[in-house]
Amino acid sequence: MKTTRRQFIKIAGASTAGMAIAGSVLGSVQKVGEAAHVKKDMLDSELTRTPTYCEVCFWKCAAWVYKDKEGNIKKLIGNDEDQHARGKLCPRGTGGLGMYEDEDRLKKPLIRRTDANGKQYYEEAEWDVALDYIANKMNSIKKDYGKENMALFVHGAPAKHFEYLFKAFGNENHAEPAYAQCAGPREAGFFATFGSGVGSPEPADMQNSKCIVFIGNHIGENMHNSFVQEVSTAIDNEAKIIVVDPRLSTVASKATHWLAIKPGTDMALLLSWMHVLIYDNIYDKEYIDKYAFGFEELKAHVANYTPEWAAGITTINPELIRKSAHTMAAASPASVIHPGRHTTWYGDDTQRERAMAMINALLGAYGRRGGMYMGVKQKLPKYPVPAFPHPHWSWQDITKPKFKNAAVGLTNVLIEASLPEFDKKHQIKGWFIAGTSVINTIPDRIKMFKAIENQELIVVVDTMPMEMTGYADVVLPESTYLERHDYSRAGKNRVAQVAFRMPAVEAKYDSKPAWWMAKELGHRLGLEKYYPWKNLEEVLDWQFKQVGSSLEEMKKIGVKTFPSTEPIYLLPGEDYEFNTNTGKIELYSTDFAEKGYDAMPKFTRHESPDPGFYHLVYGRAPMHTFGRTQNNPYLYDLYETNSIWINPRTAKLWGIENNSNIWLKNQDGVISEFSTKARLTERIRPDSIYMVHGFGHTNKKLSRARGRGINDIPLITKIKIDPIMGGTGMRNNFVTFILEEPSREEIIAAADWKANAAKKKEASENKKKETEKKSEAKKEHTKETHTKEEAKS
């Protein structure tokens, strides 16, 4: 796999930047030493604080940034008033300071240049130069292809600023890995059932639940702050916890029932749970009669999906299946299956999520205390600007014909559209990326590199030299969340709240906030009319004033709670109209039936690994978010590398000992770039291995994270696309162990697995043809002899 036009450039290769890095390392070491020498205890009374909400993950907990008299950030503490934080931050939020302090941060805008020998390098540039370069390129793509022929890939708070810019430019091709590689299926599955998606935070009313079910959702390892707090409350309340996971996850260790399921068979379990709930007559009959559509169809549909049937598929004892269903029903309606978050697993993910939604319906959970609440929010009005221009085409035109229920742009479809063979009209020729290192987020690297090659402009906005920055034409250093304003957090929750972010300190280096970059680009693209304000503060102040607050007030309180008259639970006997075709909870989806999808979920058998291969199960560690925190000095200190969890019985077959160094190879022959330690543990099924996602960074400029652990993304080569919403199912991959260090050449050659597979196929076809020829010849020969013999007789 070689990129020709676009050589990977390790950022900060320029000598001046190199010196700056060395200087700051020294600085930070001295700081720690000095502080320790003085041995001065931190007194809160001597500190001042400013509000923010966290950006280390998507939970966006509101926090206070504490500073000393010199203006140095000392610590980050959760805001007591905030529903997401409840006065506490998780380890990542507490260690969020590391994002600001990290000496490996991007420091100056960089522009890709080519020297006389054809070697590409990054040249440090002033902002004006870098922004002019981008605007010129965007205008030339607009002229040569169309303003629609660019894609925007985003994650987190910078998203809004660039989405706004792109809409003003007349482009709606925006996508987030957060949908097609993550939460998309649950949105589609729950929407089809309740006429309402899930959203973030998921409205599972866990603090009031008497029974909580997690399907592969390893809460506590995915450190969604208020949720971890709610589960903790549920434990205090002696709620039952049911966990379905091939691994004794943290939450499984706290469960009443742990169902150590064979990976890929969740649908069988869910169907059999529905069977038990219906045929043991323990579902919420009154609720279903009042609110649901298609119960009789469902009853007939699950008639044969008995626990005994499911047991043979899932390897779960049928009695445990029955018992766990009864546990859920006994707690109903304060009983909930959590929708999960990363749900792009096997390709039939929307249907699996729908089955979960349907069980929530059978439990009478939706709109009930302890089940799922109906969130409320405070809408912040948009600052008045002229209407955005209408694009001639958008992501919908290239997505909807195939994936009818995709609710937003799909990264994988836009990448497909970025390939040179895609139809010319809709071909993407430029990428703008902010806050996501797409090569480590979206599987199928071969396709990714082909798409990268075909781009005339790639802009990457980040705070860190993530791998994707090495493929950019222009890299823009973003200020961290502790140094910038952003739009407010105002999502749905139990009560309507708005959380405010402001800079606690001046931006380090030559970094800039995303809103400033977008505005500056807007001016260069002739879109001044969409930027009538001086700075984001002005917009925020205007927005706050529309809802009876102000910038001044928000600076003091950080989080404002707004009164809401909307109830978050259904009222007893309420005639509620759901946002579906029938106005009911659809156990039988009329929308799916109309569009040619299964109206009720069916069981599909997914592949099992060949002998010597194991299910590749990946997940999270509480100290890290995706692949973006591994270089954070505080979080690195807590968890510097991942390990490969292996059941001791499996390890014995291979002679692998605890802490043995191992490499992984997947079913397509792809070998992991680095090795990591084996972790022998009884906490996992013998047919599966587990690893924490986000490790194995390759960019040397991530001085701590580089070379630490194994990256799961390159090992995910078999992708099953969800036919309903287009998400990329990534759990169909299997790995085996390599115990001796493979050579670099071997690893590089193995990465080109598509070409290798084609060669192998060709070779085997040739061999087959030869054998066929031989056997034909042999047949002819026998025939001849036979005829001769016949003639003789």
Partner 1 sequence: MRYAMAMDTRKCVGCSDCVVACQTENNVPLGFCRDWIVEAVKGTYPDTVQMHFKSERCMHCENTPCVRTCPTGASHVIEGGIVKVTHDECIGCGACIESCPYDARYVHPEGYVDKCTFCDHRLEQGLNTACVDVCPTSCLIFGDLDDPKSDVSIILKEKDWYVLAPEAGTNPQLYFLK
Q: Which residues of this chain interact with partner 1, rule CB under 8 A?
A: 32-33, 35-37, 39, 41-45, 74-78, 87-91, 94-95, 97, 219-221, 223, 225, 228-229, 231-232, 235-236, 248, 250-251, 253-254, 260, 622-623, 633-635, 637-639, 647, 649, 681-686
Phi, psi angle pair for 192, to nearest 5°: -65, -25
Between 254 and 447, CB nearer to partner 1 = 254
Q: How far is the CB of 420 from partner 1 (least distance, A)?
A: 46
For residues 489 and 685, which CB has a smaller minimum distance to partner 1 in the complex? 685
- Beta strand 150-154 with 430-434 is parallel
Residue 268 vs 452, nearer CB to partner 1: 268
Shortest gap between Cβ of 739 and partner 1 (angstroms)? 23
Query: How far from the centroid of its chain's Cα atoms is residue 551's Cα?
Result: 32
Q: Which is nearer to partner 1, 236 or 421 (CB)?
A: 236
Q: How far is the CB of 674 from partner 1 (least distance, A)?
A: 22
Angle between helices 266-279 and 349-362 (to 10 degrees): 20
Distance in Å, CB of 660 to partner 1, minimum: 18
> Residue 433: phi, psi to the nearest 5?
-125, 130
Amino acid at 421: E
Please, which residue, 28 or 550, has the CB nearer to partner 1? 28
| Sequence letter at residue 793 | S
Q: Quick one: 310 or 518, whose CB is closer to partner 1?
A: 310
Q: Which is nearer to partner 1, 686 or 707 (CB)?
A: 686
Please tell me the distance from the alpha carbon of residue 695 to that of residue 437, in angstroms, as a whole number. 13
User: What are the structure tokens assigned to 426, written together?
Assistant: 């809709």
**Minimum Å distance from CB 670 to partner 1?**
28
Q: Please, what is the minimum distance in Å from the beta carbon of residue 4 to partner 1?
A: 41
User: Which run of H or of E encompasses 170?
Assistant: none
Give least dist CB 503 to partner 1, A: 20
Taking the complex as a whole, the smallest distance from the CB of residue 628 to partner 1 amounts, in Å, to: 17
Q: Which is nearer to partner 1, 447 or 494 (CB)?
A: 494
- Alpha-carbon distance values, 747 to 112, 277, 713, 730 (Å): 28, 50, 15, 21
From residue 151, give the alpha-carbon distance in Å to each of 136, 416, 563.
16, 11, 39
* Closer residue to partner 1, CB minimum distance, 226 or 698: 226
166 vs 626, beta carbon nearer partner 1: 626
How far CA 701 is from CA of 5, 99, 114, 119, in Å, comes to 22, 15, 20, 19
Locus of tokens 């399921």:
261
Residue in the structure block whose two tokens are 């540039």? 125
- Min dist CB 244 to partner 1, Å, is 13
626 touches 693 (CB < 8 A): yes
What whole-number distance in Å separates Cα of residue 183 and Cα of residue 30?
43
Q: Which residue has the tokens 């050449």?
A: 745
Q: Which residues of 720-754 are buried (b: 16+ CB within 10 A; e: fewer)?
A: bbbbbbbbbbbbbbbbbbbeeebeeeebebbbbbe
- Shorter beta-carbon distance to partner 1: residue 11 or 77: 77
Minimal distance in Å, beta carbon 319 to partner 1? 13
- By three-state DSSP, how is residue 521 classified? helix
Spatial separation of the C-alpha atoms in residues 318 and 310, rounded to whole Å: 7
Cβ at position 30, least distance to partner 1 in Å: 12
* Whole-angstrom distance, CA of residue 246 vs CA of residue 618: 11
Sequence length of the chain is 793
